[in-house]
C-alpha cells in the first residue's frame, strides 16, 4: 500500500534550512541523508516542499514519468529572471517538446564537431594570456574562456564592440548568481517584481539585463535581415520552424540564447575549474593524462577523468525539481500535487553501494566503462537530459588538452576547496587555485 505522507526531513525553520542549503550545499545534503536516509524532505523559502531522492530506482521512475504528471519546467522557475519565460528549461509537456525539437538541429553531432576548431582557437588564445608566475584562480579565467566560446559559437559574434559589450553585461548578470537573493526571485509579473526592479539588488540586475537584451535584439534583427548562411547556433535557431511553419519570435530567440549561455558557460567553467582542482591534487592522474597525450592514440583516460570529475563534483548537485501535478507514486510512496521531486546527483554519485570508496578520485572507474543512466546524472536524464551535453564534453576535452599541452599543472594548497554555491551551481570556494608555469619549447606532453 502506498504511503501518502512526505518523507522525514529537518524540522528547522525554512529560513535556517535555506541558509544551510546555500552556505553548505553538499555537507547539508550529506547530513540529511545520514540522518533520514535515501529520501528526505527540505522546506526552503519561497518554495514548495522538496523531496530529495538518491535511490537509482526512484530516480528512474522520476525521469521516465509521463510529461503531464511531473513538470520540471515549473520546478526551474528560479532561472526565469535570466533565461526568460520562453526558455526550453521552463516549459513543460507539448510546449517543451516543440521547443526542444526546434533546438535539436543545433546540437547535431556533425554541427557540434564543426565547432571544434573554433573552440580550439579561442582556447589557445585565452590560455596563452594566462599568468604563469604565481598561483592563479582558474575559475574566473575559465569563465572568460567559456563565455568567449558561447559568444562566438552560439551567438555567432565576431571580435568587436558588440561582443565586448555583451561580454561585459552578461558577465555582470551572471555574477548576480553569487548572491543568496538570486535563488529567491519574485514571482514574474507580480507587484513584488515591479517594486524590486526599481529598488534593491534586483534593480541593478534589471538595468544590466535591459542593456544586454537591447544588444541581443539588435543582433537578431541584423541576422534576420542578412540571411547569410553560417554555422553558429543562432543561425540554426533562425532557420527553425514551429509546427505551423512560423519562425521563432525575437523573444523566443533571446530566451533560448540566454538558456544556451547559462547552460554552456556557467556549468562548463565550473566543471573545468573542478577538473583542474582535482587533477592537480592527484599526481598519478596527471601523469596518466600526460602519458596519453604523448601517445596521441586515443582519449580514453581523458574521457574517464571528465566522467569522474562530474561524478565527484557535479556542478548541478541536484537535478531541476519535478513538480508533481497529479498524485504520483515513487518507491511505494504516493506524492501529492504541489510537491517537488528532486533527484540528487551528488548523493547518488557518493553512494558506497554504487561506487566503491566514493570520495576517492579514481578515473579508472570509467576506463572502458560507460556511466550508468541512473547512477551518473550530471546532465540530468530522461526527456529533459541536457541538450548541450555533447558540446560540453567536447569543450571540456579541448580545454583540458590545450592547457596540459601548454602548461605544467601544480596545486598550491593542501586539502580541498570547499564547494561554494553560485545560484544553482557549485564552484570551488577558492576559485580553483593552481600554478600553471609554461612548458619550455619542445617539452609538451605531445612531443
**Per-residue pLDDT tens over the stretch 153-199:** 888 888 888 888 888 988 888 887 777 776 666 666 666 556 556 66
- What cell does 120 get? 580550439
Query: Who has greater pLDDT, 76 or 63?
Result: 63
Mapped onto helix, strand or coil, the DSSP state of residue 164 is helix
> What's the pLDDT score for residue 99?
92
> Which of 35, 73, 37, 76 has its CA nearest to residue 54?
37
- pLDDT averaged over every residue in the chain: 90
- What cell does 420 get? 561554494
pLDDT above 80: residue 385: yes
> Which of 331, 342, 381 has its CA nearest to residue 50?
342
For the ranges 71-80, 150-159, 174-183, 432-441, the lowest mean pLDDT is seen at: 174-183
> What's the pLDDT score for residue 381?
94
**Count of all residues that appear for the chain in the document:** 447
Gap between the Cα atoms of 295 and 249, Å rounded? 49
pLDDT tens for 85-121 read 899 999 999 999 999 998 888 887 777 888 888 889 9
DSSP annotation of 3 reads: B
DSSP annotation of 154 reads: I
pLDDT tens for 267-288 read 999 999 999 999 999 999 999 9
pLDDT above 60: residue 412: yes
Gap between the Cα atoms of 315 and 263, Å rounded? 11
pLDDT tens for 197-244 read 666 677 888 888 899 999 999 999 999 988 777 878 898 899 899 989
Cα dihedral sign, 124-130-136-140: negative
pTM of the shown model: 0.92
Q: Where are the domains of the chain?
A: 14-434
> What's the pLDDT score for residue 229?
78
> What's the pLDDT score for residue 187?
65
> What's the pLDDT score for residue 1?
38
Gap between the Cα atoms of 158 and 161, Å rounded? 9
Gap between the Cα atoms of 1 and 332, Å rounded? 7
Distances (CA, A) of 411 to 116, 241, 291, 362, 436: 29, 49, 19, 18, 9
Q: With 0-12 CB in 10 A as exposed, 13-18 as middle and 19+ as buried, what is 69?
A: middle
Pairing of strands 419-422, 50-53: unpaired
Mean pLDDT of 406-423: 87
Q: What percent of the chain is predicted at pLDDT more than 70? A: 93
Q: What percent of the chain is predicted at pLDDT more than 90? A: 63
> What's the pLDDT score for residue 440?
84
Query: Who has greater pLDDT, 205 or 437?
Result: 437
> What's the pLDDT score for residue 114?
81
Gap between the Cα atoms of 155 and 417, Å rounded? 33
**What spatial distance separates the first Cα and last Cα of the chain, rounded to whole Å?**
65
pLDDT tens for 240-263 read 999 899 999 999 999 999 888 888
Give every CB contact of residue 160 below 8 A, 6+ residues apart in sequence: none
> What's the pLDDT score for residue 161?
86
Mean pLDDT of 338-354: 97
Mean pLDDT of 58-68: 97
Gap between the Cα atoms of 116 and 114, Å rounded? 5
For the ranges 28-37, 310-319, 331-340, 406-415, the lowest mean pLDDT is seen at: 406-415
Please tell us whether the domain made up of 14-434 is placed in CATH 1.10.630.10.
yes
> Which of 103, 40, 83, 1 has its CA nearest to residue 385?
103
Amino acid at each position: 500500500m502506498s504511503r501518502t505522507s512526505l518523507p522525514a526531513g529537518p524540522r528547522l525553520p525554512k529560513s535556517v534550512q535555506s541558509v544551510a542549503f546555500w552556505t553548505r550545499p553538499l555537507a547539508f545534503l550529506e547530513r540529511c541523508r545520514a540522518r533520514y536516509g535515501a529520501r528526505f524532505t527540505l522546506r526552503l523559502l519561497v518554495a514548495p516542499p522538496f523531496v530529495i531522492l538518491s535511490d537509482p530506482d526512484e530516480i528512474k521512475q522520476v525521469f521516465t514519468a509521463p510529461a503531464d504528471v511531473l513538470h520540471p519546467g515549473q520546478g526551474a522557475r528560479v532561472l526565469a529572471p535570466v533565461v526568460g519565460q520562453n526558455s526550453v528549461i521552463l516549459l513543460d509537456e507539448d510546449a517543451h517538446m516543440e521547443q526542444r525539437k526546434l533546438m535539436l538541429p543545433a546540437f547535431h553531432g556533425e554541427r557540434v564537431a564543426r565547432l571544434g576548431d573554433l573552440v580550439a582557437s579561442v582556447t589557445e588564445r585565452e590560455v596563452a594570456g594566462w599568468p604563469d608566475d604565481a598561483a592563479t584562480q582558474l575559475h574566473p579565467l575559465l569563465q572568460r574562456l567559456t563565455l568567449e566560446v558561447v559568444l562566438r559559437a552560439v551567438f555567432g559574434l565576431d571580435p568587436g564592440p558588440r561582443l565586448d559589450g555583451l561580454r561585459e553585461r552578461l558577465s555582470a548578470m551572471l555574477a548576480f548568481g553569487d548572491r543568496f537573493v538570486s535563488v529567491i526571485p519574485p514571482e514574474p509579473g507580480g507587484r513584488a517584481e515591479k517594486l524590486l526592479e526599481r529598488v534593491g539588488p534586483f534593480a541593478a540586475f534589471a538595468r544590466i539585463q535591459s542593456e544586454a537584451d537591447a544588444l541581443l535584439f539588435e543582433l537578431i534583427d541584423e541576422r534576420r535581415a542578412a540571411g547569410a548562411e553560417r554555422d553558429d547556433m543562432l543561425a540554426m535557431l533562425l532557420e527553425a520552424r514551429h509546427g505551423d511553419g512560423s519562425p521563432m519570435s525575437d523573444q523566443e530567440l533571446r530566451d533560448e540564447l540566454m538558456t544556451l549561455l547559462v547552460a554552456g558557460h556557467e556549468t562548463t567553467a565550473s566543471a573545468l575549474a573542478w577538473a583542474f582542482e582535482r587533477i592537480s591534487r592527484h599526481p598519478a592522474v596527471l601523469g596518466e593524462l600526460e602519458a596519453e597525450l604523448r601517445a596521441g592514440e586515443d582519449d580514453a583516460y581523458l574521457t574517464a577523468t571528465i566522467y569522474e570529475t562530474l561524478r565527484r563534483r557535479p556542478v548541478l548537485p541536484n537535478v531541476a525539481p519535478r513538480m508533481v501535478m497529479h498524485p504520483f507514486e515513487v518507491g511505494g510512496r504516493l506524492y501529492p500535487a504541489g510537491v517537488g521531486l528532486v533527484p540528487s546527483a551528488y548523493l547518488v554519485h557518493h553512494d558506497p553501494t554504487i561506487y566503491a570508496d566514493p570520495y576517492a578520485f579514481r578515473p579508472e572507474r570509467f576506463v572502458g566503462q560507460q556511466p550508468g543512466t541512473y547512477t551518473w546524472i550530471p546532465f540530468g536524464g530522461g526527456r529533459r537530459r541536457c541538450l548541450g551535453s555533447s558540446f560540453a564534453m567536447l569543450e571540456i576535452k579541448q580545454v583540458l588538452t590545450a592547457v596540459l599541452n601548454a602548461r605544467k599543472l601544480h596545486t598550491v594548497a593542501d586539502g580541498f576547496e570547499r564547494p561554494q554555491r553560485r545560484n544553482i551551481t557549485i564552484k570551488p570556494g577558492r576559485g580553483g587555485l593552481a600554478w600553471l608555469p609554461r612548458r619550455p619549447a619542445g617539452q609538451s606532453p605531445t612531443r
